[in-house]
Structure 1
């Protein structure tokens, strides 16, 4: 037997499908909906979380719940060909906002960057939007012991490529980059930033870049909503290596 919140989710879903609320519309306030269905606010929120997990609505903190616009599935392509790292590309227009600040490394950053807890680190936070909907969250970290960098001039890449350009300009050369992609549930802060529920899976990438001495010069944590995202990696061999293999 279905729970009460599941019946409410079914009814709310029907209203969205038939066009009672159109894409971009704000749903009635949670208190109003709870009164309409004669349930408690927690029960109503359980129903809303079902629709959030399905990608039908998004919660904008401080503003309410909105019907999500039909967004196309986005492919994030991180291409490395012939030893040259190219700028990441997407198949849809995305605007990127970047903020930066100095933070002290906690336990997680200490392990990621290979620095002592409490070491000063520059944190860059890139949030990509498709229209009004946030689609990506990237946090890039550079230890002060490596370089003291400014703010990237152009915030075009959801991967934070502008930080790489700043490192290069400061004379820091990346020799190796290791990337690990996992599927998991978002943290509360990640869910709030991406306007999703903590029950909605995300694709999480951890990227660590080192120089020729194997010192970590940059660490990155990228989070993408799992319902509309693909990550595409393309690699190629240098021509001379192909010749040697023949």
Structure 2
């Protein structure tokens, strides 16, 4: 069990830990979350602190308390961002939760768009390896994303050029074959109207609003390792880290 850190209120640390489990899909809708007594024992905190952590999750709309039964994960439509996918891969060795799967629609060498070249530190017009995928669940397509890698990575990681799925996850595969470890990532988000291709892939009406996330992973030497552009449909939640106001 993670240790308490002094920089953040204890109840928030507990709430964020459970929230991350929910967003990764480790705790699924209908699953019971640990009780106040269990949290107090495993995190070595008081019962009121444990109760407050569950209350924070309830305020976020993630859980619901059932009288005389316990606290359970609510049914949610959630956009799983890269941080949740990485966390699940590290914890379980699998990127997707049960019922989710990805279809690789294209893979291989392409001339990198200017914004991709800039993010990866490549010259304008340079070639890069891309992997374009549509992630689906039982209800249909939920995410469209394209990962881009520079020529050095593309040459050393041949599976990136193959349309077959990489079951351990793209980044973990790249780390294993190149020896370059992902250290931190930066995300930029905006909302815009979908392109015709995005609308078709996500089964949306033409011009529907979508959430765009540009995601850059940096290695231990602060060099860009991966650039990814993810497109999310509307009316699904995207969660951010909570923080205290000082």
For Structure 1 versus Structure 2, the TM-score category normalised by the shorter chain is 0.5 to 0.7
Equivalence for 1:226: 234
Q: Tell me, in whole angstroms, the C-alpha distance in 2 between the residues paired with 1:235 and 1:214.
A: 26
How many angstroms does 1:137 deviate by? 0.3
Q: Tell me, in whole angstroms, the C-alpha distance in 1 between the residues paired with 2:165 and 2:210.
A: 26
Equivalence for 2:210: 202
Q: Tell me, in whole angstroms, the C-alpha distance in 2 between the residues paired with 1:128 and 1:184.
A: 20
Answer with 178-187 or 145-154: which moved more. Answer: 145-154
In the superposition, the TM-score normalised over structure 1's length comes to 0.55
Equivalent residues of 1:74, 1:91 under 8 A apart: no
Give 1 or 2 for the bigger CA radius of gyration.
Answer: 1
Greater relative contact order (Cα 8 A, min sep 6): structure 1 or 2? 1
Listed one character per residue, the Cα deviations across residues 118-153 of structure 1 (whole Å, up to 9, x for unaligned) are 222110111012237222101000111234323377
Structure 1, unmatched stretches of 5+, are 1-71, 237-246
Q: Tell me, in whole angstroms, the C-alpha distance in 2 between the residues paired with 1:175 and 1:125.
A: 23
How many angstroms does 1:222 deviate by? 0.5
How many angstroms does 1:93 deviate by? 2.5
Equivalent residues of 1:74, 1:90 under 8 A apart: no
Q: Tell me, in whole angstroms, the C-alpha distance in 1 between the residues paired with 2:97 and 2:79.
A: 8
Q: CA RMSD in A?
A: 3.2
Equivalent residues of 2:185, 2:218 under 8 A apart: yes
How many angstroms does 1:115 deviate by? 0.7
Aligned pair in 2 of structure 1 residues 198, 79: CA closer, same or farther (>3 Å)?
closer
Q: Tell me, in whole angstroms, the C-alpha distance in 1 between the residues paired with 2:126 and 2:148.
A: 12
2:79 to 65, 76, 81: 76
SS of 1:165 mapped into structure 2:
helix
Is 1:105 the counterpart of 2:112 in the alignment? yes
Q: Tell me, in whole angstroms, the C-alpha distance in 1 between the residues paired with 2:134 and 2:120.
A: 22
Aligned pair in 2 of structure 1 residues 74, 92: CA closer, same or farther (>3 Å)?
farther
Q: Tell me, in whole angstroms, the C-alpha distance in 2 between the residues paired with 1:110 and 1:195.
A: 29
Listed one character per residue, the Cα deviations across residues 10-69 of structure 1 (whole Å, up to 9, x for unaligned) are xxxxxxxxxxxxxxxxxxxxxxxxxxxxxxxxxxxxxxxxxxxxxxxxxxxxxxxxxxxx
Aligned pair in 2 of structure 1 residues 125, 91: CA closer, same or farther (>3 Å)?
same
2:101 to 95, 98, 119: 95
Q: Tell me, in whole angstroms, the C-alpha distance in 2 between the residues paired with 1:230 and 1:92.
A: 19
Judging by fraction of residues, say which structure has more helix. Answer: 2
Q: Tell me, in whole angstroms, the C-alpha distance in 1 between the residues paired with 2:242 and 2:174.
A: 23
Equivalence for 1:144: 151
Answer with 120-129 or 130-139: which moved more. Answer: 130-139
Equivalence for 1:135: 142
Number of residue pairs matched by the alignment: 158
Q: Tell me, in whole angstroms, the C-alpha distance in 1 between the residues paired with 2:76 and 2:146.
A: 22
In the superposition, the TM-score normalised over structure 2's length comes to 0.55
Equivalent residues of 1:125, 1:138 under 8 A apart: yes
Aligned pair in 2 of structure 1 residues 177, 187: CA closer, same or farther (>3 Å)?
same
Structure 2, unmatched stretches of 5+, are 1-74, 90-94
Judging by fraction of residues, say which structure has more strand. Answer: 1
